[in-house]
Structure 1
Amino acid sequence: MLLKNKQVAIIGGGPGGLTLARLLQQQGANVKVYERDADQYFRQQGATLDLHYESGLKALRTAGLIEEFKKNYRPGAEKFTIADHNAIVHYTEADEEPLEDIDHEHARPEIDRGPLRDLLIASLQDNTIVWNSKFSALEANGEGWDILFDNKTTAYADLVIAADGVNSKVRKYITSVERFYSGVTIVEGNVYNAAANAPHLWELTNGGKVFALQNHKFIVLSAKGEGSLSVYTSTKEAEDWAATSGIDFTDKTQVSAWFRQRFSDWSDDWNELFSTHDSYFVVRPQYYFPADQLWQTLPNLTMLGDAAHQTPPVGEGVNQAMLDALELSEALGSAHFNTIQEALASFENKMRSRASKEVEEAGQMTAGLHSENNLEYLLNFFNNFEEL
């Protein structure tokens, strides 16, 4: 085994990093996950995630966690509604039966991000995760690395794996290839107790998801199991808009004023999302890495998920990260490679090839969703999908 008597460090405790930790521990590897959060419940987790048969669900099956997933996924949360700027519905799956057969190859079962993280954490050996460990730097130490954290602690690892997401601080030790701005910025939010604070849109969402589109802009709503609504507005903005707009996105009044101006051609139905103070919002410019990115494989350092191949969000991010984890664990556990570097090279080549297709498809989808006729674009997409 390539990892025998080796210490593995995973930087980042999201779904990709936690899945990898579970898979490597199944092989008997010594693994630590270093996570910046103070504890498991420190941070509000985001929207629901749809896991796919050939990627996210495949990783969970290999990890022996599919039964735990079945206990925690949300039947009915996959139901999709498409509306226009006046909240008029043009397509809905609201009357369809909830998804029960998650073993079907076209199944896309939904699970809240928090419960997914929790079941992955519960699957790990005690003390696998080292909380309050915000990555600061790497320093070479023999054939491995000393890992430095903001809290002045350090750790040694023979192999370091970056799973620290879109703003990865580890990636620069692997490659200087930089990401590009997509032209789109998302304002992400969460409306708590949505049945009371956004009753009409909570009813429209009906426990599932809503895509509302019109004239270059769109809004996504996603119901969560604890009764809140995840909110995403997506608009074309200058790359520095978040910094130069003068908007304090922690100030609900300013966010509401921005929305009413930016979406002034939309009906008042959507204003209830921004009319309550029982919410939070954060601005997220969207970036992507080039489809043809390339780097030289290192003997003791690699990366996965958004740290390696960020794309604009079209529902594939968590699935690709979990598939990365599966393929990396398979490479490191394979008897076909003589060295860790050979295993990493095989994994990275396969990951880049797969990710390049995702970048191209995400770019096409992003362009379509922000086109003048974006409502028709998404309706045609669903109609074509149903005909397959």
Structure 2
Amino acid sequence: MLIDQKKIAIIGGGPGGLTLAKLLQIKGAEVKLYERDESKNVRVQGTTLDLHEESGLEALRRVGLIDAFYANYRPNAGRLRITDKHAVIHLDDHAAENAYAETRPEIDRAPLRHILLESLRPGTVVWNSYFVSMEKQDKGWILHFKNGASAYADIIVAADGANSKVRSYITGIKPVYSGVTIVEGNVYDAEINAPELFKLVKGGKLFAFGDEQSLILSAKGDGSLSFCTGCKVRENWVQQTGIDFNDKQQVFTWFKTAFGTWNDIWQGLFNGDDIWFIPRPQYHFPLNQQWAALPDVTMLGDAAHRMPPYAGEGVNQAMQDAYELADSLTGYQFANTQQAIAYYESKMLKRTSEVTAFTLHNTEMLHAEDPINRMLEIMGG
């Protein structure tokens, strides 16, 4: 096996990195995963995840965790309601005999992370390891972390997300702004703090559209509601707007203006005190990105092919990357690791270019003048 006697370092403990670590351990590889979170008990942010048959679910089958997934997934979390800005329901998956979302089962990020973490050998994950830089040493690399620690590895895999620091060691290709910026938030104890919206979401997902804007809500198993606004603004809007996104009142003031023609029901998102906000300008990499494969550094997930979330493909593509990269590194069809990585990256770039194009089409459609009728056409077959 190409990676016999080699130390592999995975930077980033999201689903893609964790899946890769498990797959490589199954093959007997020596793996360490370096994660910036202080511990496994850190609160996991983000919306629920819908896993797809050929990618996310296939990855879980390969690591032997499909039963654990179905023991932790939320059967009705993918049921969707589509409303206009006045909260008038145009499509109700809950009332459908065959729900649109049934082929894409949903799981919260925290339990997915938990089942992947628990499957790894003790000591695989090195917590509080915020990657800063790396430098060549002998045939491998020395990794440097913010806490002052260092570590050696023969092969580095960047799984450190959309703002990857490792990516620059592979390519200088920069991301392109999609034209849409999201403000992500989370309301805890939503049944108490946002009761009308909690009832409207009904334990699933809700897509609301109006004024070329979007508002997506997701119920989570811990009783919270995550939400994402989508607005067509300038690329540097976050810097120019002057909003302190740690200040709920400032964000609320912006929301009441930006979504000023929307029904007041949506303002219920700001009722609770236990709430956080993160602005996220949505970028993607060029559809034709290419680079020369290296023998000892590669990447997966958002580090390799970041894209907006409007097709639900991010985590699925990352987990598919993981099993395709593991197949290449642990197989016997390549003469060396550079050939194995080149083969993986070639397939990955072609696949994710097509997915990115589809995602950008959705991004434009959902922030156009009449997305609801288009959505109804799509979901109607």
Q: How much has 1:98 moved relative to structure 2?
A: 9.1
Aligned to 1:87: 87
Aligned to 1:23: 23
Matches within 5 A, 1:153-302: 153-302=149-298
Give me the identity figure in percent: 52
Matches within 5 A, 1:1-388: 1-96=1-96, 107-314=103-310, 315-384=312-381
**Mapped contact 2:182–2:281 kept (Cα < 8 A):** yes
Deviations 1:94-153 (A, max 9, x none): 134798xx9xxx720000000000000000000000000000111001111111111111
**Mapped contact 2:334–2:340 kept (Cα < 8 A):** yes
Unaligned runs of 5+ in 1: none
TM-score computed with the length of structure 2 as normaliser: 0.98
**Mapped contact 2:44–2:109 kept (Cα < 8 A):** no
How far, CA to CA, are the matches of 2:329 and 2:340 in structure 1? 6
How far, CA to CA, are the matches of 1:215 and 1:271 in structure 2? 16
**Mapped contact 1:195–1:227 kept (Cα < 8 A):** yes
Q: How much has 1:269 moved relative to structure 2?
A: 1.0
Moved more, 369-378 or 318-327: 369-378
**Mapped contact 1:215–1:374 kept (Cα < 8 A):** no
Which amino acid in structure 2 is aligned with residue 30 of structure 1?
E
Deviations 1:214-241 (A, max 9, x none): 1210100000001000011000011111
Alignment partner of 1:94: what SS? helix
Q: How much has 1:46 moved relative to structure 2?
A: 1.5
How far, CA to CA, are the matches of 2:72 and 2:96 in structure 1? 21
Alignment partner of 1:139: what SS? strand
Which amino acid in structure 2 is aligned with residue 38 of structure 1?
E
Give the number of equivalent residue pairs: 379
**Mapped contact 1:76–1:97 kept (Cα < 8 A):** no
How far, CA to CA, are the matches of 2:196 and 2:135 in structure 1? 54
Q: How much has 1:335 moved relative to structure 2?
A: 1.0
Unaligned runs of 5+ in 2: none
Alignment partner of 1:160: what SS? strand
Which amino acid in structure 2 is aligned with residue 366 of structure 1?
T
Which amino acid in structure 1 is aligned with residue 172 of structure 2?
S
Q: How much has 1:93 moved relative to structure 2?
A: 1.0
Which amino acid in structure 1 is aligned with residue 38 of structure 2?
A
